[in-house]
Amino acid sequence: MKLRCAVIEDFQSVATTVVDWSPVTDDVEIVTFTEHLATVDEAATALDGFDIVVTLRERVPFPAELFARLPRLRLLVASGMRNSVIDFDAARRHGVEVCGTASSSTPPVELTWALLLGLARGIVPEATALRTGGPWQSTLGADLHGRTLGLLGLGKIGARVAQVGLAFGMDVVAWSQNLTKERADEVGVRLAASKEELLAESDFVSVHLALGERTRGLIGAAELARMRPTAYLINTSRAAIVDTDALLAALNVGTIAGAATDVFDVEPLPADDPVRSAPRLLATPHLGYVSRANYETYYGQAVEDIRAFLDGQPVRRLG
């Protein structure tokens, strides 16, 4: 009798076609779910009777309560090698192996620049106007060359964003609580003396920090007020780093020139969320890691994880 595997959050219906699942299909029945499982009750109902679950990034939490309600579950595969929404202690107590996959930082770097450039040159309003008979040229583009790019965070993603900024001829400055001058020098950027200094001098501010107690709400009303009225904020990291209410207020009154975000407090974003209609905001539905190459890695290694588990030799264990 085959084991049952649920592949959840497959919004684009590509999980079973982007890679070859044949190494496991003799032993495992694959079932995909294209709708978001928003609550523990929804997840417990949908996943009841499955032995294996493949989940994408951190879209669906797996707390102790959910493990307790999935007695057949034996393997949970999560894309990436870090996951903050899985209760690993509960997984161990319930005898569930948790495995991960590799994940590339290239797609979020590229999306960061797509959003930044889209903001700077008014791509969305200009393209929309062209297609709908609107005005011919209605915005005045913001230049990048010679302008200051401020990076909150200079890790793997932040450093690669910095390299592109330097290639555009931008003055790149960075800050985080633990950032050293040695690291800034290594990347070839300036170290800001403080978060406040970075915000005050930057024409574009891009967030590349991990979410934690020190970074939650790091950018609020006071910080946005320090930014130039001609400056733009880009967040492709975690929604909770930026106070959404404060950002919406700043956009509504024009405290800053604009913002772009790929991450939200609740995902998928509710239909009536004010973010959807905020002025001066370019928003995308969490596309940072959504690229063909990344999906090939996620699902290809998920197949490897399942095969290794079936063979009694789990790989890429998490927790």
Residue 145 known to be catalytic: no
Q: Which amino acid is at 104?
A: S
Q: Which residues contact 62 (CB under 8 A, 6 or more apart)?
A: 43, 55, 76, 85, 86, 87, 90, 91
HEC string of 35-100 equals CCCCCHHHHHHHHCCCCEEEECCCCCCECHHHHHCCCCCCEEEECCCCCCCECHHHHHHCCCEEEC
CB distance 176 to 152 below 8 Å: yes
H or E element at residue 205: strand 204-207
Residue 94 known to be catalytic: no
Q: How far apart are CA 195 and CA 220, in angstroms?
A: 12
State the CB neighbour count (10 A cutoff) for residue 40: 16
Identify the DSSP state of 252.
H
Q: How far apart are CA 309 and CA 286, in angstroms?
A: 30
Q: Which residue among 267, 280, 307, 316 is the active-site one?
A: 267
| Letter string b/e over residues 79-99, b meaning 16 or more CB atoms within 10 A of that residue's CB | bbeebeebbeebbeebebbbb
Q: How far apart are CA 103 and CA 56, in angstroms?
A: 11
3-state secondary structure of 173: strand
74 to 5, 10, 88: CA distances (angstroms): 10, 21, 13
Q: Which residues are bridge partners to 4 per DSSP?
A: 29
Alpha helices of 122-269 — where are they, by DSSP H?
Answer: 123-132, 156-167, 181-187, 195-201, 221-226, 244-253
Positions annotated as catalytic residues are 238, 267, 286
